[in-house]
Amino acid sequence: MSDIDEGFYSRQLYVLGHDAMHRMGTTDVLIAGMRGLGVEIAKNVILSGVKSVTVQDEGQAEWTDLSSQFFLKESDLGQNRATCSLQQLSDLNPRVRVSAHTGALDEELLLRFQVVVLTDSSLDEQKRFGELCHSRGIRFIVADTKGLCGQLFCDFGEEFEVLDKDGETPTSAMIQGITQDNPGVVLCMDDRRHSFSNGDKVSFSEVQGMTELNSMEPMEIEVRGPYSFSICDTSGFSKYERGGIVTEVKQPFKLHFKPMSEALLDNKLLTMNDFGKIVRHQTLHLAFQALHGFVKKEQRLPRLRSQPDAETLLGMVRELNAVAQLEELDEAAVRSLSFTARGDLAPINAFIGGLAAQEVIKACSRKFTPLRQWLYFDALECLPEKEDQLEEDDFSLKGTRHDGQIAVFGHAFQGKLERQKYFLVGAGAIGCELLKNFALIGLGAGEGGHITVTDMDFIEKSNLNRQFLFRSQDIGKPKSEAAASAVREMNPRMNITAHQNRLGPDSEGLYDYNFFMGLDGVAAALDNVEGRVYLDKRCVQHQKPMLEGGTLGSKGHTLVVVPHLTESYGQDTSTSNNAIPLCTLKNFPHRIEHTLQWARDHFEGQFKQIPESVNLFLSDEGFLERTLGHGDAEALEVLEGVWNNLECIKDGGQRPRSWEECVSWARRKWETLYNNDIRQLLHCFPPEQVTATGLPFWSGSKRCPHPLTFDPNNSTHMEYVMAAANLYGQIYGINGTRDFASIRKILEGVHVPSFTPKSSVKIHVTDKEMEEDKAKGTDEAGELFQLADVFMMLPHFLPGFLFLYFLCVLAPDQARLEELKGKLASPSLKGSAVQMYPIDFEKDDDTNFHMDYIVAASNLRAENYDIPAADRHQSKLIAGRIIPAIATTTAAVAGLMCLELYKLVQGHQKLSSYRTSYFMLSVQYFVWAQPRRPQSYELAGKEYTLWNDFLVDGRRGGQQEMTLGDLRQYVKENYGLTICTLFYGPAIVYNGQKERHKQRVSDVVKMVTKADIPPHKKMLDLEPSFAEDEDNEKAPTIRYLLV
């Protein structure tokens, strides 16, 4: 891969990096077996961007394949699986050469590849080809699934070098002090804990005083506490003065693997991914070997639900344990494996296929820590909670596309799946994988069943790398429609409707009470917390289960919400603790994240918010009044921006009439931001400034800046002017250019006003100080206006003179605000003004100047403060708030979500049956846990949870609607509680007003909210408090129905 297509691989590049991607681009991969697991691995590996993939399979497509092989159709039955899958696999990523091999595996074939993956293979083949690959330095992976169990094995040879253990950004911290001692102790700034671990190697930079550290090789540390660690002997070094950054230096390391024949006998090589299932997974290690022996002897897999075959398999496991010497065997798991071994389940293949493909990526890129060497997974808790729920004749296979699933769960369950009505929110990466699984398992694909999917986004090129249902010809189409069309191709029986709506209050007319009450469940495939919180709230309102999952690079998580059994997703618990303080952004940045956020804020303010304010001023009569209601400081800022952008530059404003004036504005803006503002800051806080305690002001996280001098020969300086001028022109409808020569020519005639720092300027050091001054200023302004009002009422003074005197002398900001109000009130102003063109930030278009501006603006700011600059790739990640993503994690998350779906559809009632998960594929780290029970509270002697609401039919079967008195009586009679207060949102519906007892509830709601109830609103959430326990902070919501 000579040139990486950054548009296609955009999100994956933030997971793997350019170097790893280049190494992958030189690797040829063989994937043997094109049943469901093989095609899942192939899909993920092809999307990742290796040099070539060859898919091998001698077999012909069968009915059982269709339950998980998403690139096979019923018309492919009887034809070679690899050949039938080839075209669709090739279409996934034209940058990867994909070919099919329909012959047998042999030594000559394997030696053509650097990575070999075996699926659907015999143990003899695994041993034989494993020995060959181990001896020839070919990375060797085996993946297998049987029913609800999966197996993964890796052998990367005698010696394999890992260049980056986890792919995480190297940890860094700012230094507060270093002792002269043996060992020296480094104390980090206490604004946040360091994230170093014992044995990490670090390097130092920008240390003043103890400068010897700046030039030393990376050294090992020992953690002393959350803010300190020890290093080498520093007793002979110079005394530490100030400053310094310590940064983790990642070290490559080498791993050694055993060939399969040896690894089979070494239980220490089992990677335990679920510490609640240690015995089970040790047993499965023997059971999979026994299963191969069973097949070799009987020439078939165990029969479905066959007790004799299960006992035979268990006997073979016991024989193997005579050598393995496990203290305990999970015999029930062996029987379950035997009963379901003929099953082929899409969710299990999605999960194991995601893990296996991630190991291929590790083998190709040498990034992340490979599996060493065995991993087992099972989801046996998906089986019915009661054995008597299974009927022997329910498992006969009849030649249908779901035979592989019926082999595990039976026909009755299949019918129940097909009758489900589900709502999928989001058709992005996880949404595509879920829809694929829904099609394969037949969710909503029968009579009475249905899937509704909504996503407001349209397909972009960067989506194609992981949203595998889309192709290049789909770019620009709605995601939901393209995804729905694609899964109909996989399963023509799918009943699916695609919407392009954002889920939120604005779409409640469509997704109303009737819609939610008609659902069996909801799946959230959203990329933001706010959307999940809102959807969760709707599910709690309507007592519906919800499946939720998310990814961040190689990390993934899943959650299942079950009414009355588990807690809900809950409120947004994210806080502003990680938000960058305003004073840091404005004056004291010390990380590149700060300068990038500063640049993004300037972009939004100048090129979006100001034009939007101007357009609102011109079109909305109430804009001025609303703006003044936001407080004087905010009103002054907004109205100043509006006025300046309505007034032409020649008249003292900022509205350009030509491209030349746009360049002139950009050049003067450069001078203000990177020279004048810095000189003003240094005038207020000189480099030698000390604090009240005698410590240097410019120390710790405060980096002393220096002003820049504009240089037309400096590329970054010119890139800022070019991008800023073009963007400035765009908001006024003026065309610009990328021609640096012509821009330089214009710059020769630009006059840059001189600047002198002012002693009257106050710069806040902390956000707290800023807020205090803001509050103080508001109070003082209010007092001045009150005093002015008093004097204006006196007959022997001129009111206008006094008003102006008080404002101009004692409150200049208020004077300017009054002046702006007068100017903007002029009727002629709106008549002559023209609309502006606000710009929405778009990070993925390299021709629109957006990232050009961000990168240049941020790096110039970084140069002011001696912060290392960021390249365009890193800047896009941070400023664009990109979520790194890779197809392997997405596939694994969707697989786990659908395993929970099996349980929901069956109606599992045991909390122990369900799982929440968190994992990191980069290091094969997994956490499985039972969901938490909902928190309970006591009210008037009874236990309640968030799921316990009071459902009240307001019209009681077509009668007249309840009065408020009727509602109070109904709750008293049915729940033994007396309503004393009632809220609808923030509005007080009832607080003891007896005159409201005879009013209809909806009429009272309309009266207190001063708004009509929308026609689609069929349920009102009323929050009560009760006389029996009035001090209780929690009480069940009254769900008041208007149907």
- For residue 647, give both structure tokens: 């007034």
DSSP state string for 816-880: HHHHHHHHHT-HHHHHH----------TT-TTSSHHHHHHHHHHHHHHHTTPPP--HHHHHHHHT
What contacts 177, CB < 8 A, 6 or more positions away? Answer: 186, 187, 240
468, with CB counted inside 10 A (0-12, 13-18, 19+), is buried
Note the helical H segments in 976-1009: 1001-1009
1035, with CB counted inside 10 A (0-12, 13-18, 19+), is buried
583 catalytic per annotation: yes
Q: What is the dihedral of CA 603, 851, 192, 207, to 10 degrees?
A: -110
Q: Which amino acid is at 1034?
A: K
| Euclidean distance between CA atoms 863 and 670, whole angstroms | 13
Whole-Å CA distances, 114 to 20, 26, 133, 755, 923: 15, 9, 9, 64, 22
Out of 232, 583, 808, 980, pick the active-site residue. 583
Backbone angles phi, psi at 730, to 5 degrees: -60, -40
User: Is 632 in contact with 817 (CB distance < 8 Å)?
Assistant: yes
Q: Single out the residue of 1022, 1034, 1014 nearest to residue 962, CA to CA.
A: 1022
| Euclidean distance between CA atoms 529 and 525, whole angstroms | 11
| Euclidean distance between CA atoms 860 and 14, whole angstroms | 24
Q: Single out the residue of 357, 305, 362, 375 nearest to residue 336, CA to CA.
A: 305
Whole-Å CA distances, 789 to 624, 794, 946: 22, 9, 53
Give, in degrees to the nearest 5, the angle at Cα 556 between 554 and 562. 175
| Euclidean distance between CA atoms 665 and 727, whole angstroms | 11
Q: Single out the residue of 204, 151, 160, 194 nearest to residue 378, CA to CA.
A: 151
| Euclidean distance between CA atoms 327 and 186, whole angstroms | 48
User: Is 274 in contact with 281 (CB distance < 8 Å)?
Assistant: yes
DSSP state string for 142-202: EEEEETTEEEEEEE--S-EEESBSS-PPPPEEEEEEE-SSSS-EEEE-TTS-----TT-EE
What contacts 753, CB < 8 A, 6 or more positions away? Answer: 668
Reported residue count of the chain is 1043
User: Is 783 in contact with 775 (CB distance < 8 Å)?
Assistant: no
Q: Single out the residue of 655, 626, 652, 656 nearest to residue 639, CA to CA.
A: 626
Q: Which amino acid is at 408?
A: V
| Euclidean distance between CA atoms 985 and 1013, whole angstroms | 13
Q: Single out the residue of 197, 144, 189 nearest to residue 166, CA to CA.
A: 197
Give, in degrees to the nearest 5, the angle at Cα 210 between 209 and 214. 115
CB atoms within 10 A of CB 796: 4
What contacts 647, CB < 8 A, 6 or more positions away? Answer: 653, 654, 655
- Cα end-to-end distance, the chain, whole Å: 62
User: Is 656 in contact with 662 (CB distance < 8 Å)?
Assistant: yes
Q: Which residues are catalytic?
A: 583
